[in-house]
Chains A and B, each alone.
Chain A
Amino acid sequence: MSESLPIVEMAGISISFPGVKALDEVGLRLFPGEVHTLMGENGAGKSTLIKALTGVYKIDEGEIRIAGEPRRLGGTADAQSAGISTVYQEVNLCTNLTIGENVMLGHEVRGAAGINWRATHRAAGQTLKKLGLGHLNPKQALSTLPLAVQQLVAISRSMVAQCKVLILDEPTSSLDANEVEQLFTVIRSLRDQGVAILFVSHFLDQVYAISDRLTVLRNGRFEGEYRISDIDRAQLISKMIGKDIAALKSLDAKDSRRVRPDAEPLYSAKGIGRKGAIDATDIELHRGEVVGLAGLLGSGRTELARLIYGADRPDTGEVTLNGEQTEITTPAKALARRIAFSSENRRDEGIIRDLSVRENLVLAVQARRGWARPLPRREQDAIVEKYVSALGVRPADPERPIRLLSGGNQQKVLLGRWLATEPELLILDEPTRGIDVGAKAEIQEYVSVLADEGLSVLFISSEIEEVVRQSDRIIVLKDHRKIAELEGGQGVSADSIVTVIAEDGLGDASADAAVREEVTT
């Protein structure tokens, strides 16, 4: 199939945003009748590349050829007329219309007296049949379908639009195994009809199940294009994170610190879980210990953290805190029990943009006291002074609205907000994402200091090296479940974690067992 001419050829694509080079001479080839997966960590440039192809972003350098013709894509309309169609995670269909009307929207069959609805629905039925969705009744209201099937309808719609290239950006993130299989059936039948499919997913198993070829991006650069049969999981992961296997192996495992295995755990949960977010999981956290959560995006890292904090309500599980059984169902309850959680979504779930640095800092402490017991100005000033200087927040003007600070300083203020509540357990979800190197190092160092002072820290990062460096113990998650728990200082490295993730689900139970054994020793 790759012997034919590529339908899309992107070469030397560069896109810069103020201060950042998002894409640096990246290339991508899509052939008719293939499923091509775009791989890369967060921030590697996947979505920027997709937006360049769909005409959302203008390219600074490089060339896009479609069916051999150089094309300038000035907007999404250009891309659509060139036969490039996108199905987003958030399905945008009209739920109040019928399935058929949605499939045919804008391409209704017209007769002498306007739209011929019967013919339109018949045509919709044929399209659905071609994609193995013949069981759907085109006259049924779309709203009656589960979200996953609605997504399939959205895909069928791009068939009607006669698209040559279909982009599926994380289509499986909210689907269960059955629904994924249904989706793959549709994708395969589209592929067999000669459509080129660009697929983005963080689930390695799915990538290996559906892809013919893949392109890896890292830090906005092209890392390589491979046939799926030519690259194994470990190689793929090392390409994504940019360390080759040998280098990963040579990384020294650092000395074990701080762990006091005999001590009673500060926090322990048995079978804590929530449907669709994370399977029932056991987890123990000790004072003075940094526990890392490692795993690819969508593996359930954040979901687990949110359950511990009560940001989402657990369906199952028992929680023991300081030896006492307890229930943590809301963030307010967690804070009252001295658990703090810094969300990965700093902008929407962390800072409150229009409040000042001071107000953002004292918010959680104040919330815990209740509105009727305002924090005296003197104590507010003390908190502000303590954390602004301890964390090096710049500029050190507490009355400035926090939105005017840089990302790194916003993150420091948030860290201060949580520390001001004097937590015993601090959960940090991606505390260093998207901030500059200097602030990142400062925050990492501060986390170590906190653990030395006896705090229990749960540390989440998509940078596996960072997790390894920070953590005394690492819990590895994959596909919404815990697959391993590794003690630090026993030869644990980014490599061994990658191996665990890569080998899980290969049917190679022995590797898994070996790791588990390692944990128990």
Chain B
Amino acid sequence: MSANAHGPSEALKGLVRRQYFWGIVAIALLLLVNLVKDPGYLAVSIGQSGNLAGNVIDILRAAAPIILIAVGMCLVVSTGGIDLSVGSVMAVAGAVSMEFLNGASDTVGSGLAAVGLVVIVSAALGAVNGVLVSVVGLQPFISTLVIMLAGRGLAKVITGGQNTTATNETFRWIANGYVLGLPVVFLLALLLALLMGLLVRRSALGLMLEAIGMDAKAARLAGVNRRALLFTVYILGGVLAGFAGVFATASVMTVDVSRTGYQLELDAILAVVIGGTSLAGGKFNITGAVVGAILIATLDKTVVFLGVSSSATPAFKAVVIVVLCLLQSERVRRMFRQRRAAGAARPAEREVVAA
């Protein structure tokens, strides 16, 4: 492959070969559609106190919680598992922080304490998932389904079934503040995604997770400690979902126990798939998951911007996603490739190279 590199055109081809390429294309197309409706769509103005404002900024802000749960989901999926509980963990995180801040003073300290509390609680929920999957040996689907149902119940217990509201400027700043003109919430999401990326790729965590996801038996015989790794990965997923819950509730300083994070696990799974990580486990792509999350946020915002009627919204989203998945499918891509490469013979990768 390296032998026939021809500069930029090859680099472009490399990008096209990336699974999340079509996610980027889809984002661009959605932005284009919005641009057709309103030529000023992409404009970013400098609002009050020097903060950037504009539709694009809104998208980034809306993408932040999805980015976090998508990154967590990506790691879980790479082990061949799935985490259906992220939405409920978000609700629990919101409930814990709002209930705590409701009785606390409006200080920086209590704002940070709320975040700390969320980390502890969401890590504990992740740990329950981890124990159910790795020690008890339940299927991830079932284990996390249990937490998905129980978690929302727990959130209701914490707030007494109400939608709790609180006031805390620090906490509110997390979702509504700006640093260097950019929304804090997006910077934080990006930072956490970057940290996770570094964690898995700079350590051997990524390799170990992929090994488990690709071939659990072989990985075990190679001495990979599946149990500890699964435990770790579900805790990471839980904590990331906890942060996503903070983002979602801090935005309006209200937790809505039946709505916060509702069905967001599906958005996260979609983002992971769009990002080119197979639900069968194995190779994962955190950048792809981030692209997928941004795509979903763009899609949500586009629906509102275009004024698609409420009843048609699910259908509109479904169509976009089906088209995207079709474009990503190996088979469909091969069809395209064959059509394009008709004539220009392409050397096929040989399955076996003689010894």
* A, B from the same assembly: yes
Residues of chain A touching chain B, judged by Cβ–Cβ distance below 8 Å, are 309, 311, 330-332, 334-336, 341, 343, 348-355, 359, 363-364, 366-375, 394-395, 403-406, 408-409, 417, 421, 436, 438-439
Q: How far is the CA of A238 from the CA of B224 in the complex (A)?
A: 42
B301 at the interface (CB under 8 A from A): no
- Cβ contact of A408, chosen from B205, B210, B355, cutoff 8 A: B355
Distance (whole angstroms) from the CB of A110 to the closest CB of chain B: 40
B354 at the interface (CB under 8 A from A): yes
Q: Are B204 and A369 in contact (CB under 8 A)?
A: yes
Going nearest first, the 6 A-B pairs with the smallest beta carbon separation are: A367-B223, A335-B223, A371-B205, A374-B204, A406-B355, A367-B224
Q: Are B217 and A348 in contact (CB under 8 A)?
A: yes
Q: How far is the CA of A76 from the CA of B202 in the complex (A)?
A: 52
B352 at the interface (CB under 8 A from A): yes
Chain B residue, CB-CB nearest to A442: B355
B185 at the interface (CB under 8 A from A): no
Residues of A within 8 A of B211 (CB): 352, 355, 359, 363
Residues of A within 8 A of B203 (CB): 371-374
Residues of A within 8 A of B223 (CB): 331-332, 334-336, 364, 367-368, 421
Q: Are A371 and B219 in contact (CB under 8 A)?
A: no
Q: Are A405 and B220 in contact (CB under 8 A)?
A: no
B208 at the interface (CB under 8 A from A): yes
Q: How far is the CA of A421 from the CA of B224 in the complex (A)?
A: 13
Q: How large is the interface on B (under 10, 10 to 19, 20 to 34, 35 or more residues)?
A: 20 to 34
Q: Are A332 and B353 in contact (CB under 8 A)?
A: no
Distance (whole angstroms) from the CB of A12 to the closest CB of chain B: 30
16 residue pairs A–B, Cβ–Cβ below 8 Å: A334-B223, A336-B223, A341-B221, A349-B218, A352-B211, A363-B211, A370-B204, A371-B203, A373-B203, A375-B204, A395-B353, A404-B350, A405-B355, A406-B352, A409-B355, A439-B355
Q: How far is the CA of A341 from the CA of B223 in the complex (A)?
A: 10
Residues of A within 8 A of B355 (CB): 394, 405-406, 408-409, 436, 438-439
- Kindly identify, within residues 335 to 355 of chain B, every residue whose CB is under 8 Å from any CB belonging to chain A: 349-355
Distance (whole angstroms) from the CB of A305 to the closest CB of chain B: 11
Residues of chain B touching chain A, judged by Cβ–Cβ distance below 8 Å, are 202-205, 207-208, 210-211, 214-215, 217-225, 229, 282-283, 349-355
Q: Are A353 and B224 in contact (CB under 8 A)?
A: no
- Cβ contact of A366, chosen from B207, B282, B283, B354, cutoff 8 A: B207
Distance (whole angstroms) from the CB of A388 to the closest CB of chain B: 13
Given A331-B220, A394-B355, residue A355 in contact with residue B210 (CB < 8 A): yes
Q: How far is the CA of A225 from the CA of B42 in the complex (A)?
A: 83
- Give the residue among B202, B210, B221, B352 with the most A Cβ atoms within 10 A: B221
Distance (whole angstroms) from the CB of B3 to the closest CB of chain A: 12
Chain A residue, CB-CB nearest to B201: A374
Residues of B within 8 A of A355 (CB): 207, 210-211, 214
Q: How far is the CA of A425 from the CA of B218 in the complex (A)?
A: 19
Q: How far is the CA of A394 from the CA of B354 in the complex (A)?
A: 8
- Cβ contact of B222, chosen from A354, A375, A408, A417, cutoff 8 A: A417
Q: How far is the CA of A334 from the CA of B214 in the complex (A)?
A: 22
Q: Are A331 and B214 in contact (CB under 8 A)?
A: no
Distance (whole angstroms) from the CB of B212 to the closest CB of chain A: 10
Q: How far is the CA of A409 from the CA of B352 in the complex (A)?
A: 10
Q: How far is the CA of A368 from the CA of B222 in the complex (A)?
A: 9
- Give the residue among A311, A335, A336, A366 with the most B Cβ atoms within 10 A: A366
Q: Are B221 and A374 in contact (CB under 8 A)?
A: no
Q: How far is the CA of A439 from the CA of B354 in the complex (A)?
A: 11
Distance (whole angstroms) from the CB of B320 to the closest CB of chain A: 30
Given A355-B214, A406-B354, residue A311 in contact with residue B204 (CB < 8 A): no
Q: A355-B207, A370-B204, A406-B353 are in contact. List 10 more A-B contacts (CB 8 A).
A: A309-B221, A332-B223, A343-B218, A351-B218, A352-B219, A354-B210, A363-B219, A363-B222, A371-B229, A405-B355
Distance (whole angstroms) from the CB of B351 to the closest CB of chain A: 6
Q: How far is the CA of A334 from the CA of B224 in the complex (A)?
A: 12
Given A354-B282, A355-B210, residue A349 in contact with residue B217 (CB < 8 A): yes
Distance (whole angstroms) from the CB of A309 to the closest CB of chain B: 8
- Cβ contact of B221, chosen from A349, A375, A404, cutoff 8 A: A349
Q: Are A371 and B218 in contact (CB under 8 A)?
A: no
Residues of A within 8 A of B214 (CB): 352-355
- Cβ contact of B283, chosen from A309, A354, A364, cutoff 8 A: A354
